[in-house]
Amino acid sequence: MNNILDNFKLNREKENFKDVIESINNGVDFQGTNLWVLVFAIFIASLGLNINSPAVVIGAMLISPLMGPIMGLGLGMAINDLTLLKKAGYNYLFAAAVGLVTSTLYFAISPINDAQTEILARTSPTIYDVLIAFVGGLAGILATSSKLKGNVIPGVAIATALMPPLCTAGYGLATLRWEYFLGAFYLFLINTVFIALATLITARLLKFPFKVHPDEKEKARVNRVVWIIVIITLIPSIYFGYDIVQKNKFEKKANEFVNNEANFPDNYLLKKTINPKSKEIVLTYGGLLIKDSAVNVLRAKLNKYYLQDCNLKIQQGFSYLNESNNNDEEKLLTNAISEKSILIENLSNQLDSIHKQKTLTTQIYKELKAQYPTIENFVLQPSILVNDSIQKNIWISNLKSKEKINSKEKKQMKEWLKVRLDTDEIIMNFEN
């Protein structure tokens, strides 16, 4: 057991505290190279969000130097280094301002103003983002404090994703979509607070030396301020996380209900709309008129799926088309009906083809049986012969007989079958 626990100890790989503090201190500054890298990362992230390219956004995360001042904030609080704390705080605010201004200017002049999925993904932070930021921060400070850094730092930069939410906030400002700005900037604050918190906790656990040893009152005051900030940041994310879980549960139950229960004879479902926010399911059908009694029976089944508070609306496709003034909706329903009709016709043609093939095989079997009574069973199937030079339609036949069929009879059967099927391309296999 002790050998297993020894694997988790960090003492052998621990970097010199002085070198770690110096490394984080150097990463805090935003001037010269660091500042230009920040500006370029902002442009790359904004472009990636604008053209909806995850690869470009990930590239911006990898080169972004925003992690530096955030880890500086956590370490400054952990070792009671007010100089580092002030320096990190100033550079953090400066970097955030540069990021907002640069991304806002980019999106203000960009001809593409649509909110792509890469943008929307950064506008609704939840408790899960808190966990990602905190665990990512733990990995980041542990890697920085270790001699074996490996590829942890790039991975942390991707996981915690500081740059994309900041640029998304710039998009919200440029397009005056305040809900996007608030959601994205809140995600940026979540990442900031919990990466800094992870750095603070890890530095204390690793027993980084205090620069100025605080007295008990000062230490308690700092801890109180930190936890107030953490709780204030945490509470909204818990609410949003709970809201997302409830929406997912509603959508899952609603889809199960529709798939299992919402089937009416002589009708097909043209459109399904599930709205978790208003707890509403709207189903639009095409076909015969659905009776009120059938709709009431369907509504009664909502309880079975714990959807008793759900408002179920049934719309009759053709009457809905007549009442609707929305051309796009009419076109959507018309196309859906057309697609269903084509599908039904194709399936009907396939069934006809299968039925015809079955009838033909049965008839030929009877005719062969009359000529050769020893035949036990017969298989006939159209197929395609393919090789490097040709591709052509052929027939394949398999015939089984109780007694051995001589070569003359085989040849006669094959020639007869060619005439019967009006083809020269046939492969016959014989079994005795």
The string of pLDDT tens digits covering residues 177-229 is 888 898 888 888 888 888 888 888 888 888 888 777 767 777 777 778 878 88
pLDDT at 173: 92
Which residue would you say has higher pLDDT here, 11 or 335?
335
pLDDT at 142: 82
Query: What digits encode the pLDDT tens for the residues 391-431?
Result: 788 888 888 888 888 888 888 888 888 888 888 888 888 88
pLDDT at 325: 47
Q: In 3-state terms, what secondary structure has residue 185?
A: helix
Which range, of 41-55, 308-322, 415-429, averages the lowest pLDDT? 308-322
**Mean predicted confidence (pLDDT) in 143-165:** 72
pLDDT at 105: 92
pLDDT at 321 over 50: no
pLDDT at 322: 46
In the predicted model, what is the mean pLDDT of the chain? 81
- How many CB atoms sit inside 10 A of residue 84's CB? 22
Pairing state of beta strands 391-401 and 375-386? antiparallel
pLDDT band at residue 101 under the 50/70/90 scheme: very high
Residues 6+ apart with CB under 8 A from 180: 115, 119, 123, 168, 169, 171, 172
**Mean predicted confidence (pLDDT) in 144-148:** 75
pLDDT at 9 over 70: no
d(CA 340, CA 246): 34
pLDDT at 153 over 70: no
Which residue would you say has higher pLDDT here, 347 or 54?
54
Q: CB–CB of 80/212 below 8 Å?
A: yes
Q: In 3-state terms, what secondary structure has residue 325?
A: coil
pTM given for the model: 0.61
**Mean predicted confidence (pLDDT) in 104-126:** 83
**CATH number listed for the domain at residues 363-431:** 3.30.300
pLDDT at 410: 85
Identify which of 276, 282, 279, 272 has the alpha carbon closest to the alpha carbon of residue 245.
276
- How many CB atoms sit inside 10 A of residue 188's CB? 25
Q: Which residue type occupies 340?
A: K
Identify which of 382, 377, 379 has the alpha carbon closest to the alpha carbon of residue 393.
382
CA-angle at 363, arms to 410 and 396, nearest 5°: 45
**Mean predicted confidence (pLDDT) in 285-292:** 79
pLDDT at 104: 92
Q: Which residue type occupies 221?
A: R
pLDDT at 10: 61
Residues 6+ apart with CB under 8 A from 157: 61, 62, 64, 67
pLDDT band at residue 100 under the 50/70/90 scheme: very high
Q: In 3-state terms, what secondary structure has residue 377?
A: strand
Strand-by-strand arrangement of the 311-316 sheet: 267-275, 280-287, 311-316
Q: CB–CB of 79/210 below 8 Å?
A: yes
Domain parsing of the chain, residue ranges: 2-213, 250-339, 363-431
* Strand ranges inside 225-307, DSSP E: 267-275, 280-287
- How many CB atoms sit inside 10 A of residue 237's CB? 21
The residue whose two tokens read 């017969």 is 378
